[in-house]
């Protein structure tokens, strides 16, 4: 390990939107520490504050109370994939994928090569010069994934990145994400509605309560690293899935 600090630490974190009688308590209080190289998955009912937490982590929103700290080396960037993809409609697919590399002043030749590599991996090579308006939802999502991963981020924040993809592509990308994050020791905070996805990918799976989202359970899928998608076929996988499902069902049904 060697690195003493968690890459991401939330302490007593809350977020409320609005004021007075119409205020909405969206999140927390929540405590969370994600270790260097750890893959942390968050699952929880719709509207419980998951995206709010990720937006605070990305520095796009301020906490109402408490703190969220990020310790990155500044040599490698952080990257975020938004739930609505967050790609630029006025840039071509290739320019979107190159965006983070341009910001990071990666030389043009190398940036082009890396963008091309990621477009190929995402099955988008033929669409490099297309604009996002000409793409399907799943293709736009793949552009966002390529853009985030092309910078080889130290910290990766992902908000349901695979939600719009068909089951086969989703499985392929889960396996690929496992490989990439294990090879680069990327610290990842990953939101998903899919328990299977959380169990395949996560070192820890955090279950959140209904709004305002707090962490009500934490599980460690019992699969050693480096891990592959083969864990999906194990009895431990099925057992953990039904355990998490029971927890979530209680949160989804209003009392």
Ligand X SMILES: Nc1ncnc2c1ncn2[C@@H]1O[C@H](COP(=O)(O)OP(=O)(O)OP(=O)(O)O)[C@@H](O)[C@H]1O
* Least Å from the CB of residue 39 to ligand X: 19
Token pair for residue 96? 């979107």
Binding-residue total with ligand X (CB under 6 A):
13
Q: According to the binding rule CB under 5 A, does residue 51 interact with Mg ion?
A: yes
Would you give the binding string for Mg ion spanning residues 81-100, x where CB under 5 A is met? --x-----------------
Q: Tell me if 206 sits within 8 A of 176, measured CB to CB.
A: no
Q: Which one among 28, 36, 37, 49 touches ligand X, defined by CB under 6 A? A: 49
- Taking the C-alpha atoms of residue 73 and residue 53, their distance in angstroms, rounded to an integer, is 22
Give the footprint of ligand X on residues 151-210 (CB under 6 A): none
Among residues 211, 214, 219, 227, the one that binds ligand X under rule CB under 6 A: 211
- CA 57/CA 73 separation, integer angstroms: 16
Q: Give dist(CA 58, CA 148) in Å, integer.
A: 13
Q: Compute the distance between CA of residue 76 and CA of residue 154 in angstroms, rounded to an integer.
A: 5
- Do 129 and 137 form a contact (C-beta atoms < 8 A)? no
Q: Which structure tokens are listed for 76?
A: 């490698």
Considering the complex, state which of residue 52 and residue 181 has its C-beta at the smaller distance from ligand X: 52
Does 209 interact with Mg ion (rule: CB under 5 A)?
no
> ∠132-54-216 over CA atoms, to 5°?
135
> Measured from the CB of residue 116, what is the shortest distance to Mg ion in angstroms?
31
The only residue of 52, 174, 181, 186 in contact with ligand X, by rule CB under 6 A? 52
**Nearest to Mg ion by Cβ — which residue?**
51
Which partner from the list Mg ion, ligand X, none does 211 bind, CB cut-off 5 to 8 Å by kind?
ligand X
CB-wise, 85 or 99, nearer to ligand X? 85
Instruction: List the x/- string, 21-50, binding to Mg ion by CB under 5 A.
Output: -----------------------------x
Q: Is 48 in the site for ligand X (CB under 6 A)?
A: yes
Task: Give CB contacts under 8 A, 24+ apart, made by 86-91.
Answer: 86/144, 87/132, 87/140, 87/143, 87/144, 87/147, 88/132, 89/131, 89/132, 89/133, 90/131, 91/131, 91/132
What is the C-alpha to C-alpha distance for residues 223 and 242, in angstroms, rounded to an integer? 17
Residues that bind Mg ion (CB under 5 A): 50-51, 83
Residues that bind ligand X (CB under 6 A): 17, 24, 26, 44, 46-52, 83, 211
């Amino acid at each position: 390990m060697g690195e003493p600090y968690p890459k991401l630490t939330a302490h007593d974190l809350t977020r409320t939107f609005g004021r007075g009688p119409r205020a909405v308590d969206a999140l927390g209080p929540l405590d969370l520490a994600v270790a260097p190289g750890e893959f942390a998955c968050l699952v929880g009912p719709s509207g419980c504050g998951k995206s709010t937490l990720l937006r605070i982590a990305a520095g796009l929103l301020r906490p109402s109370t408490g703190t969220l700290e990020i310790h990155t080396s500044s040599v490698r960037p952080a990257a975020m994939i938004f739930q609505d993809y967050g790609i630029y409609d006025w840039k071509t697919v290739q320019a979107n994928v190159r965006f983070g590399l341009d910001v990071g002043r990666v030389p043009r030749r190398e940036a082009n090569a890396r963008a091309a590599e990621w477009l190929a991996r995402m099955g988008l090579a033929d669409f490099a010069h297309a604009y996002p308006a000409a793409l399907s939802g799943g293709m736009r999502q793949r552009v966002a994934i390529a853009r985030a991963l092309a910078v080889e981020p130290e910290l990766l924040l992902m908000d349901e990145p695979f939600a719009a993809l068909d089951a086969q592509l989703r499985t392929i990308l889960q396996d690929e994400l496992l490989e990439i994050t294990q090879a680069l020791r990327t610290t990842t905070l990953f939101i998903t509605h899919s328990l299977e996805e959380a169990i395949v990918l996560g070192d820890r799976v955090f279950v959140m309560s209904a709004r305002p989202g707090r962490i009500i359970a934490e599980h460690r899928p019992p699969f050693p690293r480096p891990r592959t998608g083969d864990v999906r076929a194990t009895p431990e996988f099925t057992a953990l899935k039904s355990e998490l499902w029971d927890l979530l069902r209680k949160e989804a049904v209003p009392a």
